[in-house]
Amino acid sequence: MAEIILKDVTKIYPNGFKALEDFSLKITDKEFLVLVGPSGCGKTTILRIIAGLEEASAGDVIIGDRRVNDVLPKDRNISMVFQNYALYPHMNVYENMAFSLKLRKIGKKEIQEKILNIAGILEIEDILYKKPATLSGGQKQRAALGRAIIREPDIFLFDEPLSNIDAKLRTQMRIELINLHKRLGTTFIYVTHDQTEAMTMGERIAVMKDGIIQQMDTPENIYKNPVNIFTAGFIGSPQMNFIKDSDKNIIMGVRPEKLKISSVEPEESSLSLDQCYVEAVELIGSEKLIYFDCNGLKLISKVPEDIQTIKGNSYKLYCLKKDIHYFDGEKGEKLY
Ligand code: ATP
């Protein structure tokens, strides 16, 4: 049972910086949770506190049914995969994977069986006898995963593990990690600043800012019902359009796919904008992004690829009332 609870955790670093204050979070057993947020919001601090690499200044860290604040990292049965992989450079991949098992005095034959089994899953049989320095980023990543998996931990912690590999391999590795999670049936906590990664990987996402969880829910619910401007703007690519209604001190948010182009405005439309000039068009497969300038207001519309617009021409844009998110202009919270 690897449910994780952080209860009122505060972290003050030795230089006096308070990275977390009364932070609480509950991660369900076997869940794939993604912590996402901009650089410096405290994601890594949370992972390191769960792993025991940092001590909480106050509060409780509970794994399963025990409080682990005073349990050493090696006794928490957690594996952590880092951005820089942290492979032992003087050992080849096989030795890197064998290391923790040797410490546990597991026999050579059993170690070999385990390594070959995991090497098969990760398709790294051909690099087992290579040193980390001779591997590509993707190979290092797999080797680091292999070393983490072999310990058969209750919990995997991932700290931006895919940020050093190229875009194509990254997409592939995301899918592999999702499948790995299904196969292993363990709790995964995955830290990233990349919202696409969060959206594609997390069963639930916790969106963070300044040490505080802004919203925690499924990717779909966060996308459809962001609770504030920060979450609305952070999740979704391209970003949600924001239009200020200065009279009412309200900010209206419209997803690019909900901002339509038409000469005829439908009856139920509640937002329409005239004189929106096409600045640029970007083809993204079966869809297009159209970048508009409406009297200085920059807006993006996502439309099917067959919609034709001419750069420099002006169009009328509209949005249906049901597709508008209304936020408080000052506090940023969702109004209705
Ligand atoms: P990134 O995506 O850049 O890794 P993060 O969200 O993981 O960011 P943390 O690394 O948890 O953020 O850092 C949270 C805050 O705590 C930052 O303001 C950071 O500067 C600060 N911080 C982290 N480690 C220390 C430390 N050892 N001493 C002092 N301040 C620290």
CATH number, position 99: 3.40.50.300
50 lies in a domain? yes
143 lies in a domain? yes
Same domain, 298 and 250: yes
Same domain, 39 and 118: yes
With beta carbons less than 8 A apart as the criterion, state whether 317 and 307 touch. Answer: no
Instruction: Give the residues across from 192 on adjacent strands.
Output: 36
**Residue finishing a domain among 232, 252, 277:** 232
With beta carbons less than 8 A apart as the criterion, state whether 319 and 271 touch. Answer: yes
**Closest atom of ligand 1 relative to the 37 alpha carbon:** 6
Q: Distance (Å, rounded) from C-alpha 75 to C-alpha 140?
A: 26
Same domain, 21 and 155: yes
- Indicate the top mutation candidate among 10, 43, 46, 191 to test ligand 1's pocket, ranked by most ligand atoms within 8 A of CB: 43
ipTM at complex level: 0.96
Tens digits of per-residue pLDDT, 117-136?
889 888 899 999 999 999 98
Half-sphere exposure of 145 (CA within 13 A, CB side): 25
Pocket lining: 43 vs ligand 1, CB cutoff 6 Å: yes
- Indicate the top mutation candidate among 25, 45, 54, 191 to test ligand 1's pocket, ranked by most ligand atoms within 8 A of CB: 45
Pocket lining: 211 vs ligand 1, CB cutoff 6 Å: no
Q: What is the pLDDT of residue 99?
A: 93
- Residue found under tokens 């994977």: 97
**Residue finishing a domain among 232, 265, 286:** 232
Same domain, 192 and 282: no
HEC secondary structure over the chain: CCCEEEEEEEEECCCCCEEEEEEEEEECCCCEEEEECCCCCCHHHHHHHHHCCCCCCEEEEEECCEECCCCCHHHCCEEEECCCCCCCCCCCHHHHHHHHHHHCCCCHHHHHHHHHHHHHHHCCHHHCCCCHHHCCHHHHHHHHHHHHHCCCCCEEEEECCCCCCCHHHHHHHHHHHHHHHHHHCCEEEEEECCHHHHHHHCCEEEEEECCEEEEEECHHHHHHCCCEHHHHHHCCCCCCEEEEECCCCEEEEECHHHCEECCCCCCCEEEEEEEEEEEEEEEECCEEEEEEEECCEEEEEEEECCCCCCCCCEEEEEEEHHHCEEEECCCCEECC
Q: What is the pLDDT of residue 159?
A: 92
13 C-alpha to ligand 1 centroid (Å): 9
Same domain, 17 and 56: yes
Pocket lining: 19 vs ligand 1, CB cutoff 6 Å: yes
Which band of pLDDT confidence, cut at 50, 70 and 90, is reported for residue 305?
very high
Which band of pLDDT confidence, cut at 50, 70 and 90, is reported for residue 112?
very high
Answer positive or negative: Cα dihedral of 193, 197, 199, 204.
negative
- What integer best gives the mean pLDDT of the chain? 92
**For residues 89-94, average pLDDT:** 95
Return the CATH number at 255: 2.40.50.140
Tens digits of per-residue pLDDT, 152-210?
899 999 999 888 777 887 888 888 889 889 988 999 999 999 999 999 999 999 999 99
334 lies in a domain? no
For the chain, what is the domain count?
2
Checking if the pLDDT of 74 tops 90, the result is no
336 lies in a domain? no
Q: What is the pLDDT of residue 265?
A: 66
316 C-alpha to ligand 1 centroid (Å): 45
Same domain, 123 and 12: yes
Same domain, 65 and 203: yes
54 lies in a domain? yes
Q: Distance (Å, rounded) from C-alpha 112 to C-alpha 125?
A: 12
Same domain, 225 and 110: yes
Which band of pLDDT confidence, cut at 50, 70 and 90, is reported for residue 83?
confident
Same domain, 255 and 210: no
Same domain, 264 and 184: no
Same domain, 62 and 191: yes
36 C-alpha to ligand 1 centroid (Å): 14
333 lies in a domain? no
**For residues 6-17, average pLDDT:** 96
Q: What is the pLDDT of residue 203?
A: 94
**Residue finishing a domain among 177, 200, 232:** 232
Q: Which of 324, 325, 316 is nearest to 266 (CA)?
A: 316
- Indicate the top mutation candidate among 44, 54, 163 to test ligand 1's pocket, ranked by most ligand atoms within 8 A of CB: 44
Pocket lining: 11 vs ligand 1, CB cutoff 6 Å: no
Which band of pLDDT confidence, cut at 50, 70 and 90, is reported for residue 68?
very high
Tens digits of per-residue pLDDT, 265-290?
677 767 889 899 999 999 999 999 99
54 C-alpha to ligand 1 centroid (Å): 12
Q: Which domain holds residue 215?
A: 4-232
% of the chain exceeding 70 in pLDDT: 99
Same domain, 227 and 244: no
278 lies in a domain? yes
275 lies in a domain? yes
